[in-house]
Structure 1
Amino acid sequence: MFLTVKEIAQAVHAQTIEDAWEMVEINAVGFDSRKLSAHSLFVPLVSENDGHSFITQAINQGAVATFWSKSLEDAPTDIPVIQVADTLKALQDLAEYYLNKVKPKVIGITGSNGKTTTKDMTEAVVSSQYRVHKTQGNFNNHIGLPITILEMPQETEVIILEMGMNHAGEIKVLSDLAKPDIAIITMIGESHIEYLGSRAGIADAKMEIISGLKENGILIIPGNEPLLIERASILKKEQIKTFGSLLTNDSYSVEIVSGMKETTFKTNLSRDSFIKLPVTGTYNVDNALAALSSAVVLGIAIDKAVQKLATFQLTKNRTEWLEGIHESMLLNDAYNANPTAMKAVLANFSQLKNSGRKIVVLGDMLELGEQTDKLHLSIQEALSTEEIDQVILYGTHMKVLYDALKTIFGKERLHHFNGDKGPMIAFLKVLIQPKDYVLLKSSFGTDLLSVTRALQVTTDN
């Protein structure tokens, strides 16, 4: 990016900057004083810590200007200070200004599960024809989304913005800022049901993505989700595109085959040949269909899009195979979990073919509210005694599932741990044998990622 201090001040409706500072050049924007680069604008956010307190460190790291919402008596005097009422609002206003200046097509993606994978797939297919910028990591909230926009190169033609949320109203803020040309909802699960009350409440929250949808913008949704179909009816029919396994969808799949490291399928969008995804999981086919639907909307040739899908790069910790101890293989999916996603992953893992055993390590799913016990118990339907050899459960909430499985799996095949993960790791290091497949799945806050690291062959085991 390239902006002057004068331009930034005008964009956020700040007071006039002294003439001597007006033409100072800004090439980056950041809020973490430890991670700034040269010629940065520092945004001192006020939360648990007051970012204003770190202005000296920010200047030492490369800040050449700063937003400021405190008294000017406390402001630095050796760099331009852009005084604003709210530094977060100023960050968002600046992002909106820069987005309007670059004028890329905007694709917004949300959903209870699969939004990061869909983002990665969408980047792949769209990059077959356009210069693309996308959300990095989990920068998908009211701070991360504007930062993503401001990191966008000026030659960007399409920006892909992941939109996350915990509470009602949060997606609306992001959509109103980004004003998507295309909005994708991957699925409605049970994530954040603690705060939203029901799947209907979750659907309402995800549908906030159309709040800022441009006139005649396109909404892409799963065609087998009546909660979304019903709510999408406020749009014109031609603005709605559906995907899924139903032959009535605008984009549908057939002949799905999922293996250890790839999934293939056919679609009505490209009938002649199989499409290959370099990831396991039949559930990833819907993510691919959503991505391909965006390609159709943008007028991208499907044959080019399909070629890119075959080699797309999945963000780390999303259903990735890792080499485990004792010549085992670990299927790491411990970044996020809700009941719908966990059952889908278990169903796919169960049908994989291997010469060793299948072991599942399942941790607590969080933010499920009053339905926590019921939803953890529902995982039982995805655990087959014929396909799964060992079940290791971790956490307070998984105890209800453990009690339900006692008579089904028996004490030799079922184990529960809580608290310190050390005993569970020690147990797994003895349990795991050559050729075993081990699935690890939980909410991020349960921290099964630390268990994954302990079982990797590359760690000091």
Structure 2
Amino acid sequence: MSLWTSADAAAATGGRAQGDWTASGVSIDTRTLQKGDLFVALQAERDGHDFVAQALEKGASAALVSRIPEGVAPTAPLLIVPEVLPALEALGRAGRARTQAKVIAITGSVGKTSTKDMARTALVGQGRIHAAEASYNNHWGVPLTLARMPAATDFAIIELGMNHPGEIAPLARMARPHVAMITTIAAAHMEAFGALEGIAREKGAIFEGLLPMGTAIIPEDLGTTPILRDAADAAGALVVGFGAQGVAKPLKIMPGDGVLRLHANITGQIVDFTLQTTGAHFAMNAIGVLAALSAAGADVKLAAKRLGDWLPPKGRGAVETLGGIRLIDDAYNANPTSLAAGLATLAGLHGGRRVAILGDMLELGPDEMALHAAVASDPAMGSIDLVHLAGPRMRHLHKALPPEKRGEWAESAADLAARATELVTAGDIVLVKGSKGSKISTVVDALRKSGQTPQPVTRG
């Protein structure tokens, strides 16, 4: 497949192409580079120019560079530009401009990646689908995703993320979506924004990139919903709310053994579908996805049926059997909203002692200690038997818990991981959750390395 010719890439970036080459993909990492890829020498922790020779040896068709690197022949197949990142952005904009795909952009404080993956799964069988890999949602991830998009794509799903004010709008304008969805607004990156209202305004900036007559999919049941609605109205968007009060809403949610069965109204269409998860937050995002796909012109009933094939990704709430325990691996990220969802998932499972192993929630700003302590009052805590904690912030939760629920507290996740098998017993249902930087995933690794092989949970 030809994705970029040397002439097309040069025209898109304003660069100078050496040689006559054709790229079948775009890569920023020699470890995952495929033969025929255009290697983009980004400068991040390390300078990508140091890996150009290796990329060409591995079969890259060419490299996007700002200079000829040492050890690379002057006549090597290159696309030479003044700066690599702006050139990648230009390549992404050109990739977006040449396709007639219906583009769906997704952002939110929680659930961006899983919701993007839901949308991709739900669209199977309805055309050629292109979606962001992993969590490629930042200043280089979005243009990379767009640059990788084949011109003949029918549906594209782009994930947008941020850490600081002013990041969403430029990405949204680059993606130029027909439909933009916000999963939720929660206390994440509070150090940069100070309040939920600031986060809502930044997330609402996604609507600035909508094409004319575009659709905004917003969570209807939040205190910050009016801010999102105002942002959508300012962009001239058609607004579709999802949630208990939305025009896309669950009519009935029926928990099963490791699954949720839903009966829902998606802007007037009644659908029934099953999700391979017990997390109610996933159910609500699935309803938002179906609303977004409906707005993009997809077959909603077929999409709802396909949602039964979706599974939560590793580290984001998947339930598995691990020896004598059931494990909910939700160790990828955490903030008060996602932690509440994880605790609710744990509380909703039956069959054994419920144990939570939690690491610090990071980037919550000046109220972080109080926010950790407040978890003791979460309604789901009444159904949880024991809570083990790691990190200086989680010490405040440890002190706030009633003595009968108070398990071990350790300064670091590594300390808990060293004793992981002592924290649980056969028959337990175990949630492991914390911010990625808390390294609570080391507890999951320790449980897995204890000699047990994970097996899928039997689905009802």
TM beyond 0.5: yes
Aligned to 2:239: 240
Aligned to 2:409: 416
- Asked if residue 129 in structure 1 is aligned to residue 126 in structure 2, the reply is yes
Q: Equivalent of 2:54, from 53, 57, 67?
A: 57
Give, as a single letter, the amino acid of the residue that structure 2 aligns with 1:450: T
The size of the alignment, in residue pairs, is: 449
CA contact (8 A) 2:13 2:87 kept: yes
Aligned to 1:7: 8
Shift of 1:260: 4.5
Aligned to 2:78: 81
**3-state SS, counterpart of residue 280 of structure 2:** coil
Shift of 1:328: 0.9
Give, as a single letter, the amino acid of the residue that structure 1 aligns with 2:147: L
Aligned to 2:288: 290
Bigger mean CA deviation after superposition, 34-43 or 83-92: 34-43
Task: Please report the TM-score for the alignment, with normalisation by the length of structure 2.
Answer: 0.91
Rate the CA distance shift 1:156–1:435 in 2: closer, same or farther, 3 A.
same
Rate the CA distance shift 1:296–1:420 in 2: closer, same or farther, 3 A.
closer
Give, as a single letter, the amino acid of the residue that structure 1 aligns with 2:431: L
Give, as a single letter, the amino acid of the residue that structure 2 aligns with 1:92: E
Rounded to whole Å, the distance in 1 between the matches of 2:322 and 2:158 is 34
Give, as a single letter, the amino acid of the residue that structure 2 aligns with 1:394: A
Rate the CA distance shift 1:212–1:253 in 2: closer, same or farther, 3 A.
same
Give, as a single letter, the amino acid of the residue that structure 2 aligns with 1:361: I
Rounded to whole Å, the distance in 2 between the matches of 1:60 and 1:444 is 34
- CA deviation profile, 1:22-70 (whole Å, cap 9, x unmatched): x321222222234322233222112332222222212212233222323
- Asked if residue 432 in structure 1 is aligned to residue 424 in structure 2, the reply is yes
Give, as a single letter, the amino acid of the residue that structure 1 aligns with 2:407: L
- CA deviation profile, 1:168-226 (whole Å, cap 9, x unmatched): 12212211111111100000001111111110111111112112111111110001124
- CA deviation profile, 1:299-322 (whole Å, cap 9, x unmatched): 333321221112223322211112
Bigger mean CA deviation after superposition, 274-283 or 226-235: 226-235
Shift of 1:238: 6.1
**3-state SS, counterpart of residue 310 of structure 1:** helix
Shift of 1:263: 1.0
Rate the CA distance shift 1:75–1:172 in 2: closer, same or farther, 3 A.
farther
CA contact (8 A) 2:179 2:210 kept: yes
- CA deviation profile, 1:268-326 (whole Å, cap 9, x unmatched): 2377664311111112121011111012213333321221112223322211112224x
Aligned to 1:399: 395
Rounded to whole Å, the distance in 2 between the matches of 1:299 and 1:273 is 16
Aligned to 2:434: 442
Rate the CA distance shift 1:437–1:97 in 2: closer, same or farther, 3 A.
same
Rounded to whole Å, the distance in 1 between the matches of 2:59 and 2:237 is 49
CA contact (8 A) 2:243 2:249 kept: yes
Rounded to whole Å, the distance in 1 between the matches of 2:45 and 2:131 is 28
Aligned to 1:313: 311
CA contact (8 A) 2:214 2:237 kept: no
CA contact (8 A) 1:137 1:315 kept: no
Shift of 1:8: 0.8
Rounded to whole Å, the distance in 1 between the matches of 2:291 and 2:270 is 18
Matches within 5 A, 1:144-293: 144-236=141-233, 239-246=238-245, 249-269=246-266, 274-293=272-291
Give, as a single letter, the amino acid of the residue that structure 2 aligns with 1:11: A
Rate the CA distance shift 1:77–1:271 in 2: closer, same or farther, 3 A.
closer
Shift of 1:12: 0.5
Rounded to whole Å, the distance in 2 between the matches of 1:123 and 1:460 is 32
CA contact (8 A) 2:186 2:337 kept: yes
Aligned to 2:456: none
Bigger mean CA deviation after superposition, 396-405 or 63-72: 63-72
CA contact (8 A) 2:37 2:61 kept: yes
Report the RMSD for the aligned CA atoms in angstroms: 2.4
Give, as a single letter, the amino acid of the residue that structure 1 aligns with 2:373: L
Unaligned regions of 5+ residues in structure 1, if any?
Answer: none
Rounded to whole Å, the distance in 2 between the matches of 1:451 and 1:182 is 39
Rate the CA distance shift 1:47–1:123 in 2: closer, same or farther, 3 A.
closer
- Asked if residue 389 in structure 1 is aligned to residue 381 in structure 2, the reply is no
Rate the CA distance shift 1:235–1:426 in 2: closer, same or farther, 3 A.
closer
CA contact (8 A) 1:132 1:156 kept: yes
Aligned to 2:376: 380
Rate the CA distance shift 1:313–1:401 in 2: closer, same or farther, 3 A.
closer
Rounded to whole Å, the distance in 1 between the matches of 2:175 and 2:443 is 38
Aligned to 1:345: 342
Rate the CA distance shift 1:295–1:31 in 2: closer, same or farther, 3 A.
closer
CA contact (8 A) 2:263 2:271 kept: yes
**3-state SS, counterpart of residue 129 of structure 1:** coil
Rounded to whole Å, the distance in 1 between the matches of 2:247 and 2:96 is 30
Rounded to whole Å, the distance in 2 between the matches of 1:447 and 1:172 is 31
Shift of 1:147: 2.0
Shift of 1:135: 1.3
Rounded to whole Å, the distance in 2 between the matches of 1:239 and 1:205 is 19
